[in-house]
Structure 1
Amino acid sequence: SCAKTMAARCSVVVPEVTTPKFEAEAVRNALEMSQYSAPELERLLRVNAKIAVENRLRFHDFCSEENRPMPAVCAYTGAVFKRILPKDFSTEDFRYAQEHLRITSFLYGLLRPLDGIKPYRLEGDVRLPEKGGVSMFDYWKPLLTDFFIEEIRKQGGILVNLASGEMKELFDWKRVEREVRVITPDFQVRKGDGLKTIVVYAKMCRGEMVRFIIKNRIECPEDLRTFAWEGFALDESRSTDCHLQFVL
């Protein structure tokens, strides 16, 4: 998933910065968002006044030549991306990630790690008048579904789903599950006789698994079962071919 927090600039050296597939759509989305005042953004994005002002400026400066794009995997600064830790990637790591990793975005749709993006804040339930009042989820679904399925098929037809649950709404998810194999890892902590999801731990584990896949060039689904981090390990009794349950 895309993170809500983003860097102002990127100092990581990458092999190249590429153009997002849906850059034209992102520009139109940003121009529409730039029409809102800071108080309107505060309500629309459910943020405080400071964040609303920051993002009003971001959208107003979106097309400025001085606003240089950053590679997506380095631009987001949330817990997942901190654990991916792209600053120590080799050129080969970046190139492997570029082929295999996809990042969802409410502004850009779907991104490769080296796609150049600009700072923004947007939510999936935002409805833009110029798009007929449909949510960003519904706007992206017909644009992304076929493209996403084809991207997965190009790399062997297996998707390791490390995004948060709401990101399924960007696609016709039933079609995705029907047309490719989806493996969803889950990360939970033992609490008494049950399991509980601790959001920050789940995010960190997702980032660590992305890193694990990239660094080890994981191609076989069975190899995902060997993932372990800070006490999290696979619980075979709670896992299936399509659901991997990791427990601390």
Structure 2
Amino acid sequence: MQILISCAKIMTGKAPKEIPYITKPSFQLQANDNAMQMVAYSVDELQDMLHVNHEIAAENWHRFQTFHTKENREPAVFCYDGMVFQKLAPETFSDDELRYANDHLLISSFLYGLLRPLDIVNKYRLEGNIVLPENDGKSMFDFWKPILTDWFIRKIKADDGILVNLASDEMRNLFDWKRVKKEVTIVTPEFKIERNGKLKTIVIYTKMCRGAMTRYILKERITNIQLLKLFEYDGFKIDESEGDWMFTLK
């Protein structure tokens, strides 16, 4: 079973200890090329491109300027600070659990394409709609699609052919998703809260549940897809009356 989660915009995290087992990103060369193109932009240009304030733009300008400095690199799963990663809580994983996670978890990235948890990365900020000058007028989504699709399908098939998709909807645009759907089994859990008699998606709760479910699969080493239905988190539990993979809080 493979799991896909989204990267987070904020990258200020750090590994809590020395990690004895690390890996190299599968698409490091493409990441290097993308980063080199980002070096050409000024702080003001980055502020406009990334839709951030001047402080964040300056921080990321410095990150790209020093992108090839190995001393700044960290295992990817510890770098991201979003809610998904907070609930995944990789700092509580044993070394053996981190190795297992490295074989079963993929993190989408607009700079690196796809990352394993223990891939060593530089911190960065990039958006999917950005068009870099040497990428033939393609957004990062369209740049990555032909590069990632076959690799992604092979990775899932080399396991058991099952993908648990816990990434945000926009991340499907990194792949030829129609092809992925045809060639592997995809489970996309949904998490909704009942409000005034209607089920609603509350983004922060969805992110919390995605992180908690990822943790559950990895910690328990789930291989039987039906065991996903035993997942419960903070009142959320399976509600098959609302859909095959609907988890609700009522």
Q: TM-score surpassing 0.5?
A: yes
- Deviation of 1:132 after TM superposition, in Å, equals 1.4
Residue 187 of structure 1: aligned partner? 191
State whether structure 2 residue 176 is matched by structure 1 residue 175.
no
User: For residues 216-231 of structure 1, what are the structure 2 equivalents within 5 Å?
Assistant: 216-231=220-235
In structure 1, how many angstroms separate the alpha carbons of the residues matched to 2:60 and 2:98? 29
In structure 2, how many angstroms separate the alpha carbons of the residues matched to 1:87 and 1:12? 9
- Deviation of 1:8 after TM superposition, in Å, equals 5.6
State whether structure 2 residue 70 is matched by structure 1 residue 72.
no
In structure 1, how many angstroms separate the alpha carbons of the residues matched to 2:24 and 2:190? 32
What's the secondary structure of 2:189's corresponding residue?
Answer: strand
Residue 149 of structure 1: aligned partner? 153
State whether structure 2 residue 15 is matched by structure 1 residue 10.
yes
State whether structure 2 residue 240 is matched by structure 1 residue 236.
yes
Residue 198 of structure 1: aligned partner? 202
In structure 1, how many angstroms separate the alpha carbons of the residues matched to 2:97 and 2:9? 25
Number of equivalences: 244
In structure 2, how many angstroms separate the alpha carbons of the residues matched to 1:13 and 1:188? 38
Residue 246 of structure 2: aligned partner? 245
Deviations 1:110-145 (A, max 9, x none): 111100011000000000011112100000000000
Deviations 1:40-94 (A, max 9, x none): 1111111111111110010001012432x11111111110001110111012211
What stretches of structure 2 of length at least 5 have no aligned partner?
Answer: 1-5
- Deviation of 1:206 after TM superposition, in Å, equals 0.3
8 A Cα contact 2:15 2:91, kept in partner: no
User: For residues 64-213 of structure 1, what are the structure 2 equivalents within 5 Å?
Assistant: 64-67=69-72, 69-213=73-217
In structure 1, how many angstroms separate the alpha carbons of the residues matched to 2:35 and 2:218? 31
Residue 49 of structure 1: aligned partner? 54
Aligned mate of 2:42, from 37, 42, 61: 37
What's the secondary structure of 1:218's corresponding residue?
Answer: coil
8 A Cα contact 1:15 1:94, kept in partner: no
Deviations 1:3-57 (A, max 9, x none): 0011264333423111000001101111101111111111111111111111001
What's the secondary structure of 2:56's corresponding residue?
Answer: helix
What's the secondary structure of 1:160's corresponding residue?
Answer: strand
In structure 2, how many angstroms separate the alpha carbons of the residues matched to 1:202 and 1:84? 13
Deviations 1:155-211 (A, max 9, x none): 100000000000000000000000000000011110112111111111010000000
Residue 59 of structure 1: aligned partner? 64
- Relative contact order, higher structure (CA 8 A, sep 6+): 2
Q: How well do the aligned residues superpose, as a CA RMSD in angstroms? A: 1.0
In structure 1, how many angstroms separate the alpha carbons of the residues matched to 2:47 and 2:137? 19
Residue 3 of structure 2: aligned partner? none
8 A Cα contact 2:192 2:200, kept in partner: yes
Greater Cα shift, 129-138 or 4-13: 4-13
In structure 2, how many angstroms separate the alpha carbons of the residues matched to 1:135 and 1:186? 28
8 A Cα contact 1:188 1:246, kept in partner: yes
8 A Cα contact 2:13 2:80, kept in partner: no
Identity %: 52
